[in-house]
Every structure is written in structure tokens, then in C-alpha cells.
Chain A
Amino acid sequence: MTAPDRTSEPLPAVRDLGLHQWQHLHPLSPIVRGGVVGIAILGYAASQLVDDVFRSVGGGDGGGDQQSEQGLRDGLAVLFEHSLVASAVVVAGMLLIGLAGWLSWRFAKFRVAEGQLEFRKGWIFREHRQVPLERVQAIEISRPLLAQLTGLSQVIVQSAGGGDAQLKLAFLGAGRADEVRHELLALAGRRDEPPVALPGDPVSGSQAIPGPRGVPGAPGFEASEGREVLRVPNSRLFVATILHGGTIFLGVLALVAGSVALATYGSTFEALTGAAIALPALGPLVLGIAVNRVGELLKHGNFHLAETGTAARVQHGLTDKRTTTIPLHRIQAVGMVQPLWWRPLGWWRVRVNVAGIAHDGDGDTDDETTVLPVGTLDQALAVLTLLDPALSESELRTAALGDGEHGGWTLVSPRARTFDALSWQRSGFTVSRHSLMVRAGRLSRRVSVMPHARVQSLTLSQGPLDQRLDLATVTLVSTPGPVGVTVPHLEIGTATRLLVDEAARARDARQFVRSACVTGEVPSQLGAPAHTDER
């Protein structure tokens, strides 16, 4: 816990699993990785072999008089002459594949050394990847179908920076994968806090934080599964997945087309014929929507959310079971949405932006940033306040359902009525000491919250129409993710003031968070707003 602590600190934990020495993956992993292809090849080879044997037996059958004996002898002869060659080739091929597999297993290894996770693979084309532990954003476990059957898991290490910044340890035994994950998380978690020592900072020299084991938050990383917060029943998820613009559009289309067809043709049979003709034209559309919906279902099926005190653990996947850990202090913005179709049922979806989890435009990534695929408002609020305890449930409720200016909301300019015909009384923002909250949408409702300390940069923009009406749009830029924090069409004065004030608030919040990290007081919270003047 004293001065040499920092250098020696990974060691005690590393010794437990021996991660500092080169580790091999599970011997079955090449086969599982080869997966379906390998099985297909093996199956094909086997069927060829059987075919060959039978054909040669059959050939012998037709040839001779002393049928069975001759045939059998012939068959054996052919088997020994030709099929022997064939099977030798197959066996050699399998040996080769086996050898390749063995080599790939032999040369794939990983270890933790000098604060880096190293992974080597390849015999001829060698690959050596290093991931600095302090760059590790999340470590998750994934179990594709084949791996589930063989009892294996892969450990996926996400690190900061770009789409290909993930390292897959595929595969390890399920238990071992869990151990490795915990160990890596423990190691990474220690380095997870921003560098403690600002160069020349007098505090860091004398009053070093008492080692990560002393930080109250850190052990949470090691707590195994955490407390279960909620699970989403698959039946509800199914209904929610079906209730989607695409499927409803299709249903309405089918109804309209059906009734029109019935009205014009007058007979069910002809209408059905018409439908059969029309179907191929709609085929790609239907297929696209179906694939999209089924994908959604597969992704979010068996959804569990747990919390470990410092992180949220999301387990999801109908066939490919995945576990994602979202460290709470890496959450950049949170948002909830309610599509129009879910309104009768009062369901919401909660999503987050997490630093370092790569994200493409559509919101469809391997990595889970949805912390509640579908749930009631109460569940959504519970999840949101869990992710960020500084949020107040009543404010969130106002944001979700309310409109008008009461409760400290600033709305879009009345002049923006032409743009926001439906929602101009609802869209707007409110500011608390901790965060900025934006709500929008009259039919489909959206709420986004961004803590002041998480603002990356701010933009103010104004198109030609805005200019004529003296309006402007303010955007709080977050890290890439599904949640966008934009306040559209404010009066120009309000917008400018919001930008300036938010910049000031973000600055104060950052300074507070920084000082909190130095003193180790609030190690992993988003910055408790109550102590702003302490610094």
C-alpha cells in the first residue's frame, strides 16, 4: 500500500491464475472456431467415403456371377485399391486440418505482462497484438451456439479506439473464461481510473490513493455476477419486437390490399391469386423486415440486467449468449425512447452511450448499449437511476410524459411551430446541477440526459430557415452511441445562452470530477453534484 505498491500491484492477483505466463486457449477451440465450415467439410468427406465404398460394392454386385462373394471381394478390392487412395486422401486431409488446428492452437497464446494484454497467434503469418490494460473498456463473454454445445466461451476484450479494437480469446472453457474475465477486469479496473498523478501535482506525490483495493468501488469489479436488477420476459420482448413500424406497415398494407382485392374481384380465390402474384414484388421488403425483427429478437432475447455497484452487467442473446459489462463511470449519456406503437402498452427502451464501445449509425453493433430493450416506465426509471444515481426519478417522469414549461423546462421557440407542429409544446430542455435533460416527440417520445461532466464539445447551428426565424439548434456532443443530445429550434438568444452556460457548467463539472479522481473520494461516480464547491 505504500510507494512500491504501484509497480508490484498487479502481481498478487496475476499469480492466482498465472496470467503473466503464456496461456493457451482451449484445445477444442480450433474446431469450434472452424465451426460450421469444419463440420460441413467433415460431413462431406465422410459422405464421399461412404459413397465410394457403397458404389464399389454396388459395382461389384453387377459384375459377377457369384454375386455376394465376388461382389464383396470386388468391393473390398476396389476399397483397397481405389477407395484406399480416396480414404488416404481424406485421412491425410483430416490430418492436415488437424495439424493446422493443432498448430493454430499451439501458437495462439496470451498473457498479461507490463500492464498489457498480449495475444499471439499464427505459425507462418504471425500476429502479435497488445492491448494496454488501461485502454480496456469492457470485457465480455460470448457463447455462440457451437461453443455452448461444447461448453466453451470466448472472452472479448474491448479497448478504446475504433471498430477493430477488440481482442477475442476464442475459446476457453466456460469456467476458465469467467476466471480470466474477472482477473482481467480486476487488473484493468485498477488502471481504470484516469491517471492519478497530474504531473507536478503536489497532491499525488504525498497523498497517494490507498491502492485500488482500498478504493471502495474497485472490488465491485471482482464481485462475480452482481445483483440482478431485472429480466425481460421473452414474451414481452416478442410483442414489442412485432410492434414496429415495418411490421405494422406490412400488416396495414396486407389489410388494404386484401380488402381492395376482395372488393374488385369479389371472390377469395381470385384475391388469393392476386396476392400470390403480388407477393414476389413485396418479397425483398418482407424478408428485410423479417430478418431485421428476428435479429432484434435474437439479440435481446433472454435479457438480464445486473449491477455490481460499479458496473452494469447485461446478459442477452437467444442463441449467442453474451455478457456485456458497462462500467458506470464510462457512461456518457443515457436516453429512453418510446415508439408510437408502444404507447398503448406504456413501454420504453433505455439506451446508453458508453465510451469506447464502437457504434455504427444504425444502432446495430455486436456490443450492447441497450440496457433495457423493453420495459414499463417504472422499470425504465429504475434502470436510469441505477445507472446514474444523481438523476431524480420525478424529473425523469416529467421528461417522459409531461409537456409545457412547468418544472423548469425551456421549450422550443413558438416561432418553430412550423417545424414542430405537434411537439413544440413538449420539445425542450431543462438543466439540473448534474445534467442537461432533453425531451422531444409528441407521438414517439424521446428523453436524453447528459451529465455536464460528459460534454465533449458543443455546437450551435443555424440553417437558412432558422436564420429567417431567428432560431438555432444546440447540440451537446457525446461519444459515439445511440443517444443524441440535441435541442432544436431554440430562440437564438436562448440557444446562445445555453451554449455559453453549458460550457461553463461542463468546465466546473470536469474540474470537480478531476479533483475527485485525485483525492479518490468519488472514484467511479459521474460526479456527485452536491460538492461542487469543495474543490
Chain B
Amino acid sequence: MSTTTTSESRSRGKAPAGERVADWADGRLGIYSLAKANMRKIFPDHWSFMLGEVCLYTFLIIIITGVYLTLFFHPSMNEVTYHGSYVPLQGQLMSEAFNSTMHISFDVRGGLLIRQIHHWAALIFLAGMFVHMMRVFFTGAFRKPREVNWLFGFLLFVLGMFTGFTGYSLPDDLLSGTGVRFMEGAVLSVPVVGTYLSFFLFGGEFPGGDFVARFYSVHILLLPGIMLGLVVAHLILVFYHKHTQFAGPGKTNNNVVGMPLLPVYMAKAGGFFFLVFGVVAVISAIATINPIWSIGPYRADQVSTGAQPDWYMGFSEGLIRVMPGWEVNFAGHTLVLGVFIPLIIFPLVLVAIAVYPFIESWVTGDKREHHILDRPRNAPTRTAFGVAWITWYMVLLIGGGNDLWATHFHLSINAITWFVRIAFFVAPVLAFVITKRICLGLQRRDRDKVLHGRETGIIKRLPHGEFIEVHEPLSQEQLHTLTAHDQYEPAQIGPAVDENGVTRKIKASEKLRAKLSKAYYNEDSQIPKPTVEEYKEITSGHGHH
């Protein structure tokens, strides 16, 4: 009886506060339908799927700390005399930008920690994006329908590089000033328009009095604004496409096996945000980054050794450092090839990885949707290409830090430069070949495991004296996981003669495509999966151990 009365009184009385707030919001924002559609959204579980989260959270950390820094930073190149608390710079002339960064570092409460969090988080953000991008690449997560999201991610990486570069230049210290000078040199090397571009960027001769204020707008408004928009679009597409998953029992191209967004992933992701913030804060509390007080204010007549950009720009430094200083004079004009060629290769390095998904889909002619991830070994050509690209990138990073390689490994800097010049062409090819062989080896191992089971390490002696190793058959789940991948046939050129006997002209692109497709999927590029018959024959126990 009492239950009836309470329920009656509740239905007659006021709803709980939470429900009323939710009702109010639903009437205006339509949250119920949104929540219904998305609260139970399923996400699969794998540590590598959290790399994107690392990027998102470090991006948020950068925005939060960046806002704090803007409260104290003066983006001005007016010259002032330093009178702050750092003794070794007392009385030195410097720009207001440098002065205010010194002020943040030494005289603003928590200023140095926030500066270090901002900078460390930026380095980790870029590193996170790099690894996230490689995860997506090697698992084939960029395939249809996710090509656009791959491009969004790529754009975020590139914009992140330039946001980082402009931010790094803001304190107007000797190190970043050298970096800006480097960039100006690259701009100047552009034929015909270089000098005009440089004067436009710097408002006259370098360094002028404008670039800090200009970089400031670009760094805190333009680029982060675009990036924020792209991040939102990136996340919307992740929701829209649903997350990919690795092959496994019960996992198909049409489902997602995992945990719901609410409550599991909200708690996990929320907790992970604080863990990321914690790790970044600990690192920022124990390790210095960009000690501008040691570096000193920028003056065009000064320079230091070890003048490198932050790591994400390191490969461009490498390109410049190893490029021979070629220069040609043509009709009274100088063309500085030693700088201009690296300037051309710089975007090409990045574009090479960005366009790969489109090349792959063209070569393979695969237009289906893919929601099951590849294991890297099952796509040897793609994996080999990815490793070759990373090798290329790393070779350039070595070139960018050639002086530190020389001093720390007691090598000649000239030898390192020559190594990089040769490795720039050779190392990716070697990496490609070796990686492909390793992938095929791993495929053979998988085939072997499926057919013969797992090596247990148990040696058994048979009655007639023979020793055998006992192999344990894999479980049904493991068998499924190891054989879930598709195997493709090379794309063929269509018949040259149609049904009416008319010969068709075969385009060169078609021939190229057929050739590439053959390279992707011929018998040298994939180990045939064990068939059911093979499996049955071997496990039936006739003449096999």
C-alpha cells in the first residue's frame, strides 16, 4: 500500500531537481535524442586507440596554459632594459617580448611552471600526433570511409608544426631568432617573389619590429582557431564512422565490440585526461625546456652552436644542413639552390605520407568500407612503405642534429653529413625491402601456428626413441584472429577487345596500376592463408605430429 501511495504522490508532486533541469534543457536543446543516440555509443578497447586521446588532452592543456601566458606576455619588439631578478642579464637591452617572458619565468607566480607545461605539452602533442598517425597508418585505419578524417589529422599535424614554430619564436630569444632567420633565408631563396615575400612577412628588412606581434596573432588566434575546428570535425567523424577494431571472435565489419561511452568511457577518458595532465606537469616540474635566460635575447649579430628548432621542425633543419651549398647565377639573378631545393623537399616529405591512402586505394581498386583493422604484417607493402617513410624522416632528423651526433659519438660532422646524404636515398629503400621480408616471415609464422599449433617447449620421447616437440593446437578464437584478414588478387587490366571485337586503347595509367597491384598482391608479397582443407588434413593426425 505504502509503495502505491509514494508513487502516486511522486507522480502528482514535483519531479526531482535533476529531472527538471534535464527537462528544461531538453525543451531547448533537444538533449534527450542526442544523449539517446550517443550515450551508449560503443568504443573498442586497445591502448593504441588512446593515442588520439593523448593528443586531444595535450592540445587542451596547451590551450589552458596558453591563455594564462597571454595574460602576462607583451608581443612587442620595443627595446627595453632588463631590470628583473635574473642577475646574468641585468642591464641588457632586449625586446619587450623577451623581457615579459623573463618576467613570466622569474617574477610571475607559477609562471615558469606554466611556461614549461605549455612547451613540454606542445612537444608531446606533436609526438603524440606523429605516433597516432602511424598507428592509423600501419593498421590501415585510413581506408574508406575514413580518408577525409586521415586528411584532417594530417592537417592538424602540419598546423601543429607551424603553431609550434610561431610560438617558439615569440620570446624573441637568440635561439628562436636564429630559427626565424633560417625561415627568412628559406623564403628569400624562392625565385622572383622571395624578397617581396620576406619584406611582406617582416614589414621590411629582417628582423624589423613587427614579426613578434604578427606571429603572436597567428600563434594564439589564427592557427589554434583552425586547429580547434579541425579537432571538432575530427571527433565528429570518429563518432560518425564509429571506431575501428582489431579482428577477433565476434568482431565483424558491421559491429563494434567494446564498452559504452557512458559510463565506462566517460570515466576512463576523464581519468585519462588527468593522468595525461599529471605526467606533463611532472615532466614540466622536473625538466627545463627552452631556458631563455641561458639563451639570451635575440641580436642579429649573435648566434650559438646547437641552434636547432623543436623536434617537429628538425627534419627541415636536416634538409638544409646536408644540402650542398649550390648556387647558380642567371642573368644577374642568384638562385640559391642549396636552400631552395630543401624548401621544395620539405612539403614533399610530409605529402608523401599524406597521399598514401589515396594511392593505395587507387592501386588496389578497393572501394569497400573497412572497419576491421589490419595487422601490419598482413599488409607488407603498406607496412614497408610506412617504415621506409619513418626511416627517411629519422635520417633527416639525424642530419638536423648532426653537431650533437658528432660531439656525443666522437664522429666527424662531415662524415655524418655524407652519411645522411647517401642514406637519404638509400636507407628508405633498404628499410622497405627489409620490412617487407620481416612481414612475410611473420605471415609464415602465423600460417605455421595455425596449421601446427603453438610450440609448447615440451619434448616427448616416443617408444621407438624418436624425440618430438609437442605442439598445442590454437583455440578457435586464436585461429579466427590469425585467419580473419582478407587476401587480395592483383587487379587485372580489362580485356583489350570488347564483345563486339573492337580493340580498346589501354591507357598507360591502367598498365601502371596493374603493375603496382601485382607488386602489392603477387605471391612474393603475401603468404597464402591456410585453407580449411589444409587445416583439416594436418590436424586429422595422419602422419603428422
**Does chain A bind chain B?**
no
